[in-house]
């Protein structure tokens, strides 16, 4: 609630500022990961504007009904524009940066001035793009610009933000969002298997596709340090899900989020609730290390379960620290 200190904490951070910091972290991470996902989809489509090549992006975010209601024709170009510059789409990169900027504005007395200036500048660059400037040949370059802008923000947060409660909530937002978005990045291909009820005539992704995915997740070289040249899709999927040393793995994000809760308890007398502790443990249990996974319907359903657990974690966090009676 506005004006309320986080209950149980001996410090002075207001719950509304904790929530601003959390959502600033989430929205910046979401914009970066969406740019990665669009780049993966464009690379997989290889310049093809065919609807089938882009439907996976909409279904990965459960956005197909909203897209169809917008009256757009299902083509790669229309999907790319809807996810990049359409302010009416709450999941677009522009909408994410709008929300990130507003949360950063509320925290200007807390965040480093460099971080505020940088997110403001990145928002301005994306807001200045017209739909005509978003074309399939230019999409990879535009996505890379957003990705680097978001990484610059994260670097400024890590390099200049005082390590207080607000920083912890920012990191919690980033880590939960990264866990969710990495599962969506992997799942961009597998939603079809479950909705179709089986493999059917569908051809699973090959090694080239998985190499492209690892590169898009900035994890290709890390993967090659751990695995031999002969490693295949099963190893790659497990690496992005379960490797505790891969910066973008779901497991490392979950472990980092658990560490933030521990710091809130030990350093700020703001212990998580039983509900939040249970949600954290459920997420950690779902990403216990495995060396390989079997790409297919089972993987899609496992990714869905992780996404549900991330939502449960975030909801419990909100009830404990942000929306209190």
DSSP 258: H
pLDDT recorded at residue 2: 45
Q: Which residues contact 269 (CB under 8 A, 6 or more apart)?
A: 8, 9, 10, 11
CA pair distance 27, 24, nearest whole angstrom? 5
pLDDT recorded at residue 34: 92
Kindly list the domain boundaries of the chain, sorted by start residue: 15-321
pLDDT recorded at residue 191: 56
Query: Each residue of 18-33: pLDDT tens digit?
Result: 999 999 999 999 999 9
Q: Which residues contact 28 (CB under 8 A, 6 or more apart)?
A: 96, 97, 100, 119, 150, 153, 154, 174
pLDDT recorded at residue 180: 95
Q: Which of 290, 288, 289, 282 is nearest to 307 (CA)?
A: 282
Q: Which residue has the tokens 């059917």?
A: 200
| Maximal CA-CA distance, the chain | 60
pLDDT recorded at residue 43: 79
pLDDT recorded at residue 107: 95
pLDDT recorded at residue 234: 79
pLDDT averages per 10-residue partition of the chain, 325 residues? 55 84 97 90 72 78 90 91 94 97 95 93 95 92 96 94 95 97 81 50 64 82 83 82 94 98 94 97 92 75 92 97 78
Contact between residue 286 and residue 257 where contact means Cβ atoms under 8 Å apart: no
CA pair distance 58, 83, nearest whole angstrom? 9
pLDDT recorded at residue 298: 78
């Amino acid at each position: 609630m506005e004006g309320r200190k986080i209950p149980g904490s001996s410090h002075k951070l207001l719950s509304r500022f904790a929530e601003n910091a959390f959502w600033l972290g989430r929205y910046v991470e979401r914009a970066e990961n969406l740019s990665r996902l669009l780049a993966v989809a464009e690379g997989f489509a290889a310049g093809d504007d065919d609807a089938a090549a882009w439907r996976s992006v909409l279904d990965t975010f459960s956005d197909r009904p909203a897209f169809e209601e917008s009256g757009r024709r299902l083509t790669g170009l229309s999907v790319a524009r809807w996810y990049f510059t359409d302010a009416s789409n709450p999941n677009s990169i522009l909408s994410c940066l709008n929300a990130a900027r507003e949360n950063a504005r509320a925290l200007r007395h807390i965040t480093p001035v460099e971080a505020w200036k940088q997110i403001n500048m990145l928002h301005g660059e994306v807001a200045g793009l017209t739909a005509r400037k978003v074309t399939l040949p230019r999409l990879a370059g535009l996505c890379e610009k957003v990705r680097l802008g978001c990484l610059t923000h994260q670097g400024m947060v890590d390099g200049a933000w005082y390590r207080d409660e607000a920083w912890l909530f920012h990191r919690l937002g980033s880590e939960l969002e990264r866990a969710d978005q990495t599962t969506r990045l992997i799942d961009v291909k597998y939603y079809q298997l479950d909705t179709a009820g089986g493999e059917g005539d569908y051809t699973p992704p090959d090694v080239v596709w998985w190499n492209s995915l690892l590169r898009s997740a900035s994890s290709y070289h890390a993967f090659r340090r751990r695995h031999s040249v002969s490693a295949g899709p099963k190893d790659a999927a497990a690496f992005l899900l379960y490797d505790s040393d891969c910066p973008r793995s779901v497991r490392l994000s979950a472990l980092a989020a658990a560490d933030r809760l521990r710091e809130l308890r030990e350093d700020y007398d703001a212990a998580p609730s039983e509900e939040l502790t249970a949600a954290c443990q459920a997420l950690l249990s779902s990403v216990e290390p495995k060396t390989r996974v079997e790409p297919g319907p089972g993987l899609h359903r496992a990714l869905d379960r992780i996404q549900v657990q991330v939502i449960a974690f975030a909801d419990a966090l909100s009830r404990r620290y942000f929306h209190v009676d």
